[in-house]
Structure 1
Amino acid sequence: MKLRHVRAVAVFGIAVLALTGARGSNGGGCDNSSGSGSSSSSSSGGSHNGDDDAGSGGSGGSVSGGGSGSADKAARDVTIDTCAYDPATKNLTARVTIKNDGALDYDYSVTMKFTGGSATPATAVKTGIAVAAGATAKAELATPYPGTGDGSEYTKCEVTRANRL
């Protein structure tokens, strides 16, 4: 190869590297969706990808949140209404309300962690919770009580994972 061909290949390689590097840092592309998502706004209700606040639930419950992923948005859609031991079914039960402020219908999946004092943590999962765009839905998550007492040691519920499809 001649020297001018080597130079042309080198310049072309640098140009390609510069362009692909710029797209990975939110600097290029047509829709600007290939970046880190630090603070771009969404058309579904004006929420921001970079919000790091966690929502809170009722009756001693909480929603784990933070970060910038779709799962974090889904977790913020979930509010814990009640969290208790149900002696009739011998289950740890949490009732939740899911509010879909988006423009699309979603099926939610929620994972709930029951804790308290020295109790061994217990987990309940509910999938396929259909929530229409702009609507709310209620759901119940339950898991068998792992102890032998009255269930009073379980005083907290926490949403550890939520997804929407």
Structure 2
Amino acid sequence: MKIRHVRAIAVFGIALVALTGARGSSGGGCDNSSSSSSSGGSGSNRDDDSAAGTGGSLPGGSGADKAARDVTIDECKYDVATKDLTAKITIDNSGALDYDYNVTMKFTGDAGSTAVPATAIKTGIAVTAGSTQTAELTTPYTGSGDGSEYTKCEVTRASRS
């Protein structure tokens, strides 16, 4: 229970930053040097050696808050084998009802980067009450390089029904 409490505090802090308009700063990015990255739903910090690291930010807005708080970005990267941008997420449904989640992820680069923003959508992610579910969102990489221009990812929309 202690880890859940720490995670809830971390999620609240990120949501507060997102709602106050500071979301566009470095908070919540997926760059490899970000100390705000989270992993595995534990609220712990880590760095990742992949082309695009871990972490993400939550979208604002009261309608999306409940579903967005349930989503943790575990990893964002360029997959060399499939030539896709991928995001691995964990959805934690601590509620009393089963839900189907819809998540939209945006991949971007640093300011001045050649990365054209890319979007991945995954719908119908079934998560039973009181459990977690992992999912992977992918979108084709349209660049000609190694994907390293994509350094950030964020959940831009999350809903549950």
Q: TM-score scaled by structure 2?
A: 0.66
Gaps of 5+ in 1: 1-50
**Which of 80, 94, 98 matches 2:73?**
80
* Distance change >3 Å, CA 136–CA 127, structure 1 → 2: same
Residue in structure 1 matched with residue 32 of structure 2 by the alignment: none
**Which of 54, 60, 66 matches 2:60?**
66
Matches of residues 110-149 of structure 1 in structure 2 within 5 Å? 110-117=103-110, 118=113, 119-149=115-145
> Aligned pair count?
114
How far apart in 2 are the matches of 1:141 and 1:84? 11
* Distance change >3 Å, CA 156–CA 74, structure 1 → 2: same
Query: RMSD in angstroms over aligned alpha carbons?
Result: 2.0
Q: TM-score scaled by structure 1?
A: 0.64
Residue in structure 2 matched with residue 24 of structure 1 by the alignment: none
**Secondary structure of the residue that 1:72 maps to in structure 2?**
helix
Deviation at 1:67, TM superposition (A): 3.3
Deviation at 1:63, TM superposition (A): 2.5
Task: Compare relative contact order (CA 8 Å, sep 6+) and give the higher one, 1 or 2.
Answer: 2
**Secondary structure of the residue that 2:121 maps to in structure 1?**
strand
Gaps of 5+ in 2: 1-13, 19-26, 29-36, 39-52
How far apart in 2 are the matches of 1:162 and 1:139? 13
Runs of 4+ in 1 over 4 A off after TM superposition: 54-57
